[in-house]
């Protein structure tokens, strides 16, 4: 069974979704990611969905719940590279993903994670 | 009926030139805007019409203009009314092109068939029906031409009214002008989001100075655009909130949520620069 790879970069986890998401894959990702956060003690999760062209309400909701789960485990989630069509679809579906942080590309997302991690360390 | 049908092509054949002259005189007298169309062009159109009418009626009779024999004639009429529609003629002026032909034609019919009352009545009826059909055809084409013009203008307006401009590195501005409906918001949203990807901008300023009224629907459209931009990782600032609009928003209890709003574009731009971490030279 195929899985979405989760890469570790310092104290952050990097997930790049490059295949069409189906429901089982999304659930597996949810399991894997939460397990990885515990194992590595990651402070941030970066999900790159720039090659995702189509979303449905399930995937949208899944992104939201991954973020909530990660926050419970003291890691912040940033979703980067959302396509315009995907953004429009999610808004039309009423899924505005409150509580998720977003960035235009991986670089900006990483900067965001680093800044917030630095802020938390200072606090 | 078949017998009476033979009269029209014959009359057209015999009195062609006289009919043409009478018809043109009729049109030139009746027309209020004689200058709009040249006499030479009119003469050409009329002569062509007579020729095609003669051919069509000789082969296809007068009862049905949808027959294939009338194809060239229908095409000519379509062309004439289309060009007149574009030139700005009114629908009745366009239809008169055909209807003004009745008087000269009926005069000839009376001269030819004056002694046979039944034949004259039959022929007059058949010709009236035929010309009415043709007249309606011109009006229909005229209408279609005008509708095409309106559709094209609407499209142009849609394109014109949604420019996305780059103000600074990483800052986009979207000056909205005119009433927002769902159709336009869709276009606005798409162009803005595409531009955000294209330029990698993190801040987009939506300026609604040119939007005359804001109601719940417009506010909802704005919120959708802001939400979509946020999902992509760009932040939106809404600027150009006039006093009247601020009052309406509060009276309608519209919740703009945590969207940053500013009174004018300059303030919004300043905020955007701050967000990008760019210091400004103070007190200029």
Closest-CA distance of chain B to residue A80, Å: 7
Residue B137 in contact with residue B97, Cβ under 8 Å? no
Read off the pLDDT of each residue in A71-98 and give the average, rounded to a whole number.
88
For chain A, list residues whose CB is within 8 angstroms of any CB belonging to chain B. 79-84, 86-88, 90-92, 96-97, 102-105, 108-109
Each residue's pLDDT tens digit, B119-129:
888 888 888 88
Residue B65 pLDDT: 74
- Report chain A residues whose CB lies below 8 A from the CB of B200: 104-105
User: Cβ contacts (< 8 Å) between B201 and chain A: which residues?
Assistant: 104
Res B203: pLDDT: 92
- What is the arithmetic mean of pLDDT over A50-73? 88
Name the average pLDDT for chain A. Answer: 88
Contacts of B145 (CB under 8 A, 6+ apart): B81, B82, B85, B86
Q: Check A104 against B232: CB less than 8 A apart.
A: yes
pLDDT digits (tens, 9 = 90+) for A16-40: 988 888 888 888 999 999 999 999 9
Whether complex ipTM tops 0.85? no
Query: What is the pLDDT averaged over residues A66-75?
Result: 89
Chain B, nearest residue to A96 by Cα: B227
Nearest beta carbon to residue B228 from set A87, A104, A105 = A87
Q: Which domains does chain B have, with CATH numbers?
A: 2-158 (1.10.490), 165-275 (3.30.750.24)
Rounded to the nearest 10 degrees, how much is the dihedral formed by the CA atoms of A19, A25, A26, A32? -110
- How many A-B residue pairs are in contact by the CB < 8 A criterion? 55
Looking at residue B161, its pLDDT comes to 67
The predicted structure's pLDDT at residue A1: 57
Q: Which residues contact A3 (CB under 8 A, 6 or more apart)?
A: A25, A28, A29, A32
Domains recognised in chain A with CATH numbers: 6-101 (3.30.750.24)
Report CA torsion sign: B264, B270, B275, B276. Answer: positive
Question: What pLDDT does B36 receive?
Answer: 63
Tokens of A38: 């515990």
Q: Do A91 and B200 touch (CB under 8 A)?
A: no
Out of B194, B200, B227, the one facing A104 most closely (by C-beta) is B200
Residue-level pLDDT at B181: 76
Q: Give every residue of chain B whose pLDDT is below 50, as ranges.
A: 1-4, 284
B contact test, residue of A53, A80, A84 with most B CBs within 10 A = A84
What tens digit of pLDDT does each residue of B161-206 get? 678 889 888 899 998 887 777 777 788 888 899 999 999 899 999 9
Task: For chain A, state the CA radius of gyration.
Answer: 14
């Amino acid at each position: 069974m195929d899985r979405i790879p989760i890469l570790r970069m310092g104290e952050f986890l990097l997930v790049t979704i490059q295949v069409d998401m189906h429901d089982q894959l999304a659930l597996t990702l949810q399991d894997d990611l939460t397990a990885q956060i515990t194992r590595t003690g990651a402070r941030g999760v970066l999900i790159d969905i720039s090659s995702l062209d189509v979303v449905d309400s399930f995937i949208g909701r899944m992104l939201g719940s991954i973020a909530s789960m990660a926050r419970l485990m003291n890691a912040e989630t940033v979703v980067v590279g959302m396509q315009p069509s995907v953004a429009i679809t999610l808004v039309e579906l009423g899924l505005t993903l409150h509580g998720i942080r977003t960035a235009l590309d991986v670089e900006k997302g990483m900067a965001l994670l680093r800044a917030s991690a630095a802020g938390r360390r200072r606090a | 009926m078949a017998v009476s049908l033979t009269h029209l092509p014959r009359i057209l054949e015999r009195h062609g030139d006289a009919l043409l002259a009478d018809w043109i005189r009729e049109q030139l007298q009746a027309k209020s805007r004689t200058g709009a169309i040249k006499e030479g062009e009119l003469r050409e159109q009329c002569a062509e019409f007579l020729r095609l009418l003669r051919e069509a009626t000789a082969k296809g009779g007068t009862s049905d203009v949808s027959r294939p024999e009338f194809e060239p004639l229908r095409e000519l009429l379509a062309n004439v009314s289309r060009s007149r529609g574009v030139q700005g003629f009114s629908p009745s002026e366009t239809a008169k092109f055909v209807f003004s032909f009745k008087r000269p034609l009926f005069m000839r019919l009376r001269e030819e068939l004056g002694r046979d009352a039944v034949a004259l009545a039959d022929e007059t009826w058949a010709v009236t029906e035929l010309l009415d059909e043709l007249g309606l055809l011109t009006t229909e084409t005229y209408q279609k031409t005008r509708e095409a013009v309106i559709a094209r203008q609407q499209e142009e307006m849609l394109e014109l009214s949604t420019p996305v401009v780059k103000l600074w590195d990483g800052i986009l501005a979207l000056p909205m002008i005119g009433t927002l409906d769902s159709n336009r918001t869709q276009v606005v949203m798409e162009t803005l989001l595409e531009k955000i990807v294209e330029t990698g901008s993190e801040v987009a300023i939506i300026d609604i100075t040119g939007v005359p009224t804001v109601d719940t629907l417009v506010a909802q459209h704005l919120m959708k655009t802001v939400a979509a931009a946020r999902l992509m990782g760009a932040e939106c600032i809404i600027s150009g909130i006039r006093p009247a609009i601020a009052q309406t928003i509060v009276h309608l209890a519209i919740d703009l949520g945590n969207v940053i709003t500013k009174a004018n574009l300059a303030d919004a731009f300043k905020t955007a620069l701050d967000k990008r971490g760019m210091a400004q030279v103070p007190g200029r």
